[in-house]
A and B are shown apart, each in its own frame.
Chain A
Amino acid sequence: MIGEPILRLQNIEMSFGNKQVLNGINLEVGKGQIIGYIGPNGAGKSTTVKLMLGLIEGYSGKIEIFGKDIADGDYTYKKRIGYVPETAELYDHLTAAEYLTFTGEMYGLEREEAEKKAYQLMFQFGLEHAFHQRLTSFSKGMRQKVLIISSVLHNPDLLFFDEPLSGLDANSVLVVKEILAKLAEEGKTVFYSSHIMEVVEKISDRIVLLVNGLVVADGSFEELQQQGKEGTLEEIFNQMTGFNQQVEIAERFVEIVKEGRVHE
Chain B
Amino acid sequence: MNDFKSLRVLDAFRWIFEKFDIDYPIMRKLIQLKLTMDSRRIPAIFNGQKQKKEGNQFIKSLWLYLFYGLLLLTPFLFLRNQYMFASSILFTVLMFITITTMVSDFSAVLLDVRDKNILQPKPVSNRTLNAAKLMHIVIYLALLEGSFVIIPLAVGIYRFGIFYGLIFIVSIVFVSCFVVVITALTYLFILRFFSGEKLKDIINYVQIFLAVAVMVSYQVMAHSFELTQMNLQYTFTWWHVFLPPLWYSAFFEVLLNQDYSINMLILMACGIVIPLLMLRIYIKLMPTFERSLSKLMSDTVRTKGKSHFFEDWTSKILCRNAQERTFYRFASLMIRQEREFKLKAYPQIGFAIVIPFVMFFNEVRIDSLKEAMANENVYPLYFSALMIPTVVHLLKFSGAYKGNWIFRATPISNSKMFYSSTLKAAIVKLFLPTFALLSIVFIAMFSWAIIPDLLIILLVAIMMTLLSYVLLNGEVYPFSNSHELTQDNNTLKVLVAMVVIGAFALVHYLIAMIPYAKLIYMLILIIAVIVGWRLVFGEKKNHGHS
Q: Which chain A residues have a beta carbon within 8 Å of chain B's beta carbons? A: 53-57, 68, 72-79, 81, 83, 85, 87, 89-95, 97-98, 102-103, 105-108, 111, 129, 131-134, 136-137
Q: Is B285 an interface residue (CB 8 A)?
A: no
Q: Is B333 an interface residue (CB 8 A)?
A: yes
B410 touches A134 (CB 8 A): no
CA distance A76 to B46 in the complex (A): 20
Q: Is B412 an interface residue (CB 8 A)?
A: yes
CA distance A89 to B329 in the complex (A): 20
Query: Given known contacts A75-B412, A94-B333, A105-B326, is B302 in contact with A133 (CB within 8 Å)?
Result: yes
Tally the A-B contacts, defined by beta carbons under 8 Å: 112
Residue of A nearest to B45 (CB): A56
**Closest Cβ of chain B: how far from A250's Cβ, in Å?**
25
Residues of B contacting A107 in the complex (Cβ-Cβ under 8 angstroms): 410-411
B408 touches A89 (CB 8 A): no
A55 touches B409 (CB 8 A): yes
**Closest Cβ of chain B: how far from A262's Cβ, in Å?**
14
Residues of A contacting B46 in the complex (Cβ-Cβ under 8 angstroms): 56-57
The stretch among B98-106, B275-283, B359-367, B396-404 that forms the contact with chain A is: B396-404
Of the candidates B298, B301, B410, the one whose C-beta lies within 8 Å of that of A78 is B410
**Closest Cβ of chain A: how far from B342's Cβ, in Å?**
10
CA distance A80 to B338 in the complex (A): 31
Of the candidates B398, B402, B546, the one whose C-beta lies within 8 Å of that of A74 is B546
Residues of A contacting B327 in the complex (Cβ-Cβ under 8 angstroms): 106
A73 touches B542 (CB 8 A): yes
Residue of A nearest to B336 (CB): A93
CA distance A73 to B544 in the complex (A): 6
CA distance A75 to B545 in the complex (A): 8
Q: Is B413 an interface residue (CB 8 A)?
A: yes
Of the candidates B323, B337, B402, the one whose C-beta lies within 8 Å of that of A87 is B402
B411 touches A129 (CB 8 A): no
B411 touches A76 (CB 8 A): yes
A53 touches B305 (CB 8 A): no
B329 touches A102 (CB 8 A): yes
B544 touches A72 (CB 8 A): yes
Residues of A contacting B299 in the complex (Cβ-Cβ under 8 angstroms): 133-134, 136-137
Query: Given known contacts A95-B305, A129-B303, A137-B298, is B403 in contact with A105 (CB within 8 Å)?
Result: no
Query: Given known contacts A91-B479, A92-B400, is B408 in contact with A132 (CB within 8 Å)?
Result: no
Residues of B contacting A73 in the complex (Cβ-Cβ under 8 angstroms): 542-544
Residue of A nearest to B297 (CB): A136
Query: Given known contacts A91-B398, A91-B400, is B546 in contact with A106 (CB within 8 Å)?
Result: no
B400 touches A106 (CB 8 A): no
A91 touches B544 (CB 8 A): no
Of the candidates A56, A72, A75, A93, the one whose C-beta lies within 8 Å of that of B339 is A93
Residues of A contacting B333 in the complex (Cβ-Cβ under 8 angstroms): 94, 98, 102
Residues of B contacting A54 in the complex (Cβ-Cβ under 8 angstroms): 408-409
Against A, the Cβ 8 Å flags (1 = close, 0 = not) of B297-335 are: 111011111000000000000000011001101100110
Residues of B contacting A85 in the complex (Cβ-Cβ under 8 angstroms): 405, 409
Residues of B contacting A75 in the complex (Cβ-Cβ under 8 angstroms): 411-413, 542, 544
CA distance A250 to B12 in the complex (A): 45
A94 touches B411 (CB 8 A): no
CA distance A221 to B406 in the complex (A): 33
Residues of A contacting B329 in the complex (Cβ-Cβ under 8 angstroms): 102
B542 touches A92 (CB 8 A): no
**Closest Cβ of chain A: how far from B419's Cβ, in Å?**
15
B408 touches A53 (CB 8 A): yes
CA distance A90 to B333 in the complex (A): 14
Query: Given known contacts A53-B408, A79-B411, A136-B299, is B322 in contact with A105 (CB within 8 Å)?
Result: yes
Residue of B nearest to A102 (CB): B330
Residues of B contacting A93 in the complex (Cβ-Cβ under 8 angstroms): 334, 337-339, 399-400
CA distance A129 to B402 in the complex (A): 26
**Closest Cβ of chain B: how far from A209's Cβ, in Å?**
26
**Closest Cβ of chain B: how far from A219's Cβ, in Å?**
29
Residues of B contacting A95 in the complex (Cβ-Cβ under 8 angstroms): 302, 305
Residue of B nearest to A76 (CB): B546
**Which residues of B500-546 are within 8 A (CB) of A?**
542-546
**Closest Cβ of chain A: how far from B270's Cβ, in Å?**
42
CA distance A74 to B413 in the complex (A): 9
**Closest Cβ of chain B: how far from A211's Cβ, in Å?**
26
Residues of A contacting B410 in the complex (Cβ-Cβ under 8 angstroms): 78, 103, 106-107
**Besides the known contacts A90-B400, A133-B299, 17 further A-B residue pairs in the complex with CB atoms under 8 A apart:** A53-B409, A56-B45, A78-B411, A89-B400, A89-B402, A91-B400, A91-B403, A93-B337, A93-B338, A93-B400, A102-B330, A103-B406, A108-B322, A108-B323, A131-B305, A132-B304, A133-B302
